Amino acid sequence: MKKKLQAALTVLPLALAVTACGGNDNVETDASKPEGQAAAKNVNLKFSFWGNDTHKKMYEDMFATYKETHPNVNVEIVTIPFADYQQKLSIMSASKSAPDIAWMAERMIPQFLSNGQLADLEPLKQDAAFKIEDMVPSTLNLVTRENKVYGIPFSTPPMMIYYNKTMFQANNLPTPTELYKQGKWTYEEMLKAAKALANPDKGIYGVNFVRSGWQNWPDAMQSHFNAFGAQLFNPEGNAFTLNAKEGEQALQVYSDMIFKDNVHPKPGDQTTFDTGKIAMQKELFSYMGKAKAVVDFEWDIAPLPAGPNGPGTTIGYASYTILKDSPHYAEALELLKYMANPENMKVTSQYFVPSRKSLLESDDFLKQGPSAESVKLSVVDQIATASSLPTHSNWQQIDTKMQTIMDYLYTQSTSVKDILGIAEKEVGPLLK
């Protein structure tokens, strides 16, 4: 008996050694799991965005909650400034070092789609729990190609007007909201109010279209072009079409607001709405947080005014995407599904206008503005008919060229008609 026990004790260490050396190095075991069941392999995902510290904290909290049920998934947040985002993401993608999940703006999507760099998210369409039918259909157009979905929009804010209600009331003028309800909120009425409220000698302006820097001409101008029936290029994206009477009219009105009527800040002027020196400011929903900090005057929001072709409302646009070369597609898809589900899109809706109809119509979203009525009129009612900013696979070069051309307007170097002629000559070849 004693000899048998000694033999068993001799064999046991050898058996343990064989077990330890013979396992799969890529699979971690977990003693708490049933015998023979391996823990999931650790996965490190990268998520890139151009947001601020508040947005980053929101995602950190979201990913921490996700890790409670997916302990093997670690998420690194990579912050890239918006001005550098497209170029850096392109370089990272070419060098196979791109993030797994990335924010993608409307102007970036055509390039990455055309280059085959975005992964197909078709499984989400088939997943009943994800409820893709809850998305406003028009918000999926930009990320859909040949009936396949390559992104899930999480931010679709329509451009709107923030106005100084105190200033309007002090001058006995009907507010943009009142005019909108009467069906009278037009460019003519906006300019009439702007002239009545402006006092350029005191640095007070009636209206401001520039909200994110003077170089960001599409943000300032595209809804304005739309309102006058002007388009930068044709639907096929192969011909420059802004050099037309509609484009000339739109650009002339904008130029006159700045240099003739003196109701709009001059190029380079950084006066902001919260100073109380701008009567009407074109902005997005994301400005709401800053506006809520204003205590010196009462403010409200209204839809954009209508031009000859309607209000021409544009939406800001950001979508979650998965880069095609991600080595962790399945895990990235599961995380993206979590980020864009109704519960988490409700979380992000404190900063971004959601694409889910159920959230847009909820009391929680409507009460984020100055009033539920204002948010419904200016946001919810505008999304379905709003259009995205211009997009093109060669957008970076087009944008750079147009920035230079807009300088002719801002320096008053030549006429609007000549500026459009120069634009057609310079931008046209980039569309071929």
The amino acid occupying position 195 is K
Query: What pLDDT digit, counting tens, does each position of 173-196 carry?
Result: 999 999 999 999 999 999 999 999
Q: Are residues 376 and 416 in the same domain?
A: no
Number of neighbours of residue 347 by Cβ within 10 angstroms = 17
Q: Are residues 327 and 220 in the same domain?
A: no
The predicted model gives 303-326 an average pLDDT of 95
Q: Does residue 29 sit within a domain?
A: no
The span from the CA of 131 to the CA of 140, in Å, is 13
Q: Are residues 256 and 328 in the same domain?
A: no
DSSP 167-230: HHHHTT---HHHHHHTT--BHHHHHHHHHHH-BGGGTBEEEE---S-TT-HHHHHHHHHHHTT-
The span from the CA of 311 to the CA of 207, in Å, is 16
Q: Does residue 152 sit within a domain?
A: yes
Q: Are residues 408 and 270 in the same domain?
A: yes
Contact between 92 and 375 under an 8 Å Cβ cutoff? The reply is: no
Return mean pLDDT, the chain.
Answer: 89
Query: How many distinct structural domains can be found in the chain?
Result: 2
Mark which of 387, 405, 421 sits at the end of a domain: 387
- Is a pLDDT exceeding 70 seen at residue 301? yes
Q: Does residue 144 sit within a domain?
A: yes
Number of neighbours of residue 398 by Cβ within 10 angstroms = 23
Contact between 80 and 89 under an 8 Å Cβ cutoff? The reply is: yes
Q: Are residues 222 and 333 in the same domain?
A: no
Q: Are residues 77 and 137 in the same domain?
A: yes
The residue behind tokens 């000559």 is: 425
The span from the CA of 367 to the CA of 375, in Å, is 8
**What's the pLDDT score for residue 286?**
82
Contact between 47 and 77 under an 8 Å Cβ cutoff? The reply is: yes
Range scoring the smallest mean pLDDT among 30-34, 269-273, 286-290, 374-378: 30-34
**What's the pLDDT score for residue 29?**
37
Query: What pLDDT digit, counting tens, does each position of 226-252 carry?
Result: 999 999 999 888 999 999 999 999 999
Q: Does residue 22 sit within a domain?
A: no
DSSP-derived pairing of the beta strands 73-79 and 101-105: unpaired
The predicted model gives 295-316 an average pLDDT of 95
Report which of 317, 266, 301 is spatially closest to residue 180, judged by C-alpha positions.
301
Q: Does residue 362 sit within a domain?
A: yes
- Is a pLDDT exceeding 70 seen at residue 21? no
Query: What pLDDT digit, counting tens, does each position of 89-108 carry?
Result: 999 999 999 999 999 998 89
Q: Are residues 421 and 278 in the same domain?
A: yes
Residue ranges making up the domain that contains 267: 160-312+394-431
The span from the CA of 224 to the CA of 361, in Å, is 28
Q: Does residue 248 sit within a domain?
A: yes
DSSP 42-72: PEEEEEEE---HHHHHHHHHHHHHHHHH-TT
Q: Are residues 199 and 296 in the same domain?
A: yes
Q: Which residues are registered as beta bridge partners of 302?
A: 161
Helices and strands (H, E) in the chain, number of each type: 19, 13
Q: Does residue 135 sit within a domain?
A: yes
Q: Does residue 30 sit within a domain?
A: no
The amino acid occupying position 173 is L
- Is a pLDDT exceeding 90 seen at residue 310? yes
The predicted model gives 23-28 an average pLDDT of 37
The predicted model gives 123-143 an average pLDDT of 92
Q: Are residues 94 and 147 in the same domain?
A: yes
pLDDT grade, residue 389 (50/70/90)? confident
347: CATH: 3.40.190.10
Please report, to the nearest 10 degrees, the dihedral formed by the alpha carbons of residues 87, 89, 94, 95 taken in order: 110
**What's the pLDDT score for residue 39?**
63
Instruction: Show the tokens assigned to 278.
Output: 């701008």
**What's the pLDDT score for residue 316?**
85
Collapsing DSSP to helix, strand or coil, 240 comes out as strand
Instruction: Show the tokens assigned to 313.
Output: 């409302």
The amino acid occupying position 123 is P
**What's the pLDDT score for residue 38?**
54
**In terms of pLDDT, which residue wins out, 4 or 220?**
220
The span from the CA of 24 to the CA of 151, in Å, is 35
Q: Are residues 178 and 287 in the same domain?
A: yes
The span from the CA of 327 to the CA of 45, in Å, is 9
pTM, full prediction: 0.79
The residue behind tokens 């000694």 is: 6
Q: Are residues 164 and 145 in the same domain?
A: no
Query: What pLDDT digit, counting tens, does each position of 339-387 carry?
Result: 999 999 999 998 899 999 999 989 989 998 899 999 999 999 998 888 8
Query: What pLDDT digit, counting tens, does each position of 73-93 carry?
Result: 999 999 999 889 999 999 999
**What's the pLDDT score for residue 34?**
45
- Is a pLDDT exceeding 50 seen at residue 392? yes
- Is a pLDDT exceeding 60 seen at residue 265? yes
**What's the pLDDT score for residue 228?**
97
The span from the CA of 323 to the CA of 235, in Å, is 27
pLDDT grade, residue 8 (50/70/90)? very low
Q: Are residues 305 and 399 in the same domain?
A: yes
